Amino acid sequence: MLIVLSILIIKVSENFGLPALLLFLGVGMLAGSDGIGGIYFEDVSVTQSVGMLALIFILFSGGLDTNIKNVFPVRNEAFSLATLGVLATTFFTGLFCYYVLGFELIYGLLIGAIISSTDAAAVFSILRTNKIGLKNNLKPLLEFESGCNDPMAIFLTMTITGIIVSNEFNAVSVSLDLFRQFAFGGILGYAAAKSLVKLFNKINLSNEALYPVLLLSSAVLIYSFTVFTGGSGYLAVYVAGIIIGNSNIIQKKSLLRFFDGLAWLGQIGMFLTLGLLVNPSELLLIMGTGILLSFFLILLGRPMSVFISLMFSKYKYNEKAAVSWIGLRGAVPVILATIPLSAGLDDNHIIFNIVFFVVLSSVLIQGWTIKYIADFFKVTEKSDIVSISPIQFETSKNLDSELIDFIVPFNSPISGQTIIELGLPKDCLIIFICRDEIFFVPEGNTFVAEGDILQILVSKKEIKNVIKKLSKTV
């Protein structure tokens, strides 16, 4: 019932600009023991399990939708944000908690580690749902960062928790563990994805409905095996999603639709569960601390870590400022806050409630104002999200053609030309043109305009030639 209700109120988020994730949290909190639902729920282990399973699907789906051509140019900057940025946020937040909020330094660093990562679910959902376009590859930078920084945040949280519990610290062991997390996560995710692409294109299942089931099971297997070897399972599934999403694979469009829906289910289930776990009455007790920490993180902590991480990058001041603001906190910090809770370090739920308040503030303040801030810093552009096609076309190994989308760039020399004047190959057919979110069937004398989305049925061997011809600059 709660999931159905959450889906129905998504329309509210679209009409009023509220982040959908905030509404999911609200539904969970209203249904909880302090709300009108009166559901008593305090099972931390179930919350962790729901959150971790949901994140597998969210990250894998996010990887499937990531264009590697956009990600590749910003890989160094994203990796710097995912490592150095997380460390810097942890350090600055720890010092703030120690000097301003009165926490012990080690507990301040623990809070910093928990809230150090931006959240893939929040970033993917808000940027894509609101169709926010960002200049200079800022969007893939933010999405790639949010998909890669979880391993560092998890590692720091587990390490600091272990230090508090055992009162011991081994720098060599910690460094090796960090290296193993990233190395095994990246390598195993890449290798598994390459193997899956070959398997899918050769297995030839008689029932097409089994392909999504096979990929779903494979995603969970990639995560499980990587964690078993000591690597980062989340990094592995995200890398695997990117490789598979950018490969030619049968049933690709249906697989993308399936995992997009699954990612939504994961987000709704995860935020509902987190909303049920928290008690709003307890949040009132830490409101002052939560407000101070939230404003520090939004206005100082995150910006300082971004400017340090991107110190030698090509990005300008306004672009770095935009990246700082769009670094949303989401479900991952709240799930990480259950780690010290499970270890008996947070019996009064102080850390958990503070982290939850920070996440709530981030989604509410930053999530609601992303478009306005992006406009203020002059980094917005027309979104490259393609409208849903009126036809569904699935490629297969027995078919030599593929349906591709080509967005006519602004100031493109082909703008104003007719279909005939484009000079496309004979085995190439423009089936639809999407203009202002309206699809129509073109004729030979139809003019092409800037921002048009051309849906082209083309022979696989001619794809590169057609794209090159349409992308000509002279």
- Domains with residue ranges and CATH for the chain: 42-381 (1.20.1530.20), 401-470 (3.30.70.1450)
Token representation of residue 302? 């995150």
pLDDT of 241 reads 92
* Residue 108, φ and ψ in degrees, nearest 5: -65, -40
Reference 8, options 22, 24, 29; nearest CA is 24
HSE toward the beta carbon, residue 322, CA cutoff 13 A:
26
Quick one: residue 168, left, alpha or beta (phi over 0 = left, psi -120 to 50 = alpha)?
beta
Query: What does the alpha-carbon distance between residue 90 and residue 109 come to, in Å, rounded to a whole number?
Result: 6
Q: Phi, psi (5° rounding) for residue 413?
A: -65, -20
> What sign for the dihedral angle of Cα 91, 141, 58, 231?
negative
Q: Is 383 helix (H, G, I), strand (E, B) or coil?
A: coil
Those residues whose C-beta lies under 8 Å from the C-beta of residue 252, and which sit 6 or more positions away, are: 394, 395
Q: Are 2 and 31 in contact (CB under 8 A)?
A: yes
**Two tokens at 70?**
């956009």
> Which residues of the chain are under the pLDDT cut of 50?
473-474
pLDDT at residue number 194: 94
CA atoms of 408 and 388, how far apart (whole Å): 17
- DSSP letter for each residue of 223-278: HHHHHHTTS-HHHHHHHHHHHHHTS--TTHHHHHHHHHHHHHHHHHHHHHHHHHHS
Read off φ and ψ for residue 314, nearest 5 degrees.
-80, -10
Predicted pLDDT at 368: 79
**CA distances (Å), origin 393, targets 40, 254, 433, 457:** 47, 9, 16, 10
Count of beta carbons in the 10 Å neighbourhood of residue 74: 24
Give the model's pLDDT for residue 383: 58
Rounded Cα gap, residues 259 and 219, in angstroms: 11
Strand partners, 429: 457
Phi, psi of 115 (to 5 degrees): -100, 15
